[in-house]
Structure 1
């Protein structure tokens, strides 16, 4: 059951720009990965799990086979660590409009209960 209300404008963007001409889960993942890679203007500030982080890149294609992920930089004192987290867990706080919209598109997809069509395709790219 969908948690988020239907948003016709967002649905049309997803259908016409992100997963257009896709025929299986592999192609849907590729569409989402490319859309997010093109529209997330990194670095940008965000909150993840209550901590301030900096999103520095999309995670590798291999890490995005099940869900879209981003690499974040977490700084505590003089220590820094970069690791991959689920994009749906990121709250942008210092990002441009295009980045904010792209993240909202992905969260909408997840919250509506959509997933990648499973056709037995194992390889992402």
Structure 2
């Protein structure tokens, strides 16, 4: 995976707001979970931006994000719940492009995309 250039403002937000005082993987996971829980204004529209073997979504498909998945489901990466057929399905947030009307939600999604693209891990 090609890493993207460092973005100082985003790095500062991640270091001093999201994973501040996180000393291990579990604490970093919870930092991200709490940050996204506070920042994501659900429901919001999103589009599948990449195919994943673990997800039935195809590139270009529009979905409605209705919530974060449970804390337990987000201990290795962030999953969100989307309306899919007549149920809710957990898909990786990394897979979705944000089309929310509010800046805060899209910034939070972009923060997660940045974290993943930089190769950071919990």
Runs of 5+ consecutive residues of structure 1 not aligned to the other structure: 117-125
Q: CA RMSD in A?
A: 1.3
Residues 41 and 95 of structure 1 are in contact (CA less than 8 Å); yes or no, is this contact kept in structure 2? Answer: no
Distance 2:99 2:19 in 1: 27
Distance 2:97 2:22 in 1: 28
State how many pairs are aligned. 112
Q: 2:35 maps to which residue? A: 35
Q: Report which structure shows greater RCO (CA 8 Å, sep ≥6).
A: 1
Larger radius of gyration: 1
> How far did residue 95 of structure 1 move?
3.3
**TM score, norm. by length of structure 1:** 0.85
Secondary structure in 2 matching 1:20: coil
**Pairing of 1:29-108 with structure 2 (within 5 A):** 29-48=29-48, 49=58, 50-74=60-84, 79-108=85-114
Residues 39 and 108 of structure 2 are in contact (CA less than 8 Å); yes or no, is this contact kept in structure 1? Answer: yes
Higher-strand-fraction structure: 1
Runs of 5+ consecutive residues of structure 2 not aligned to the other structure: 49-57
**TM score, norm. by length of structure 2:** 0.87
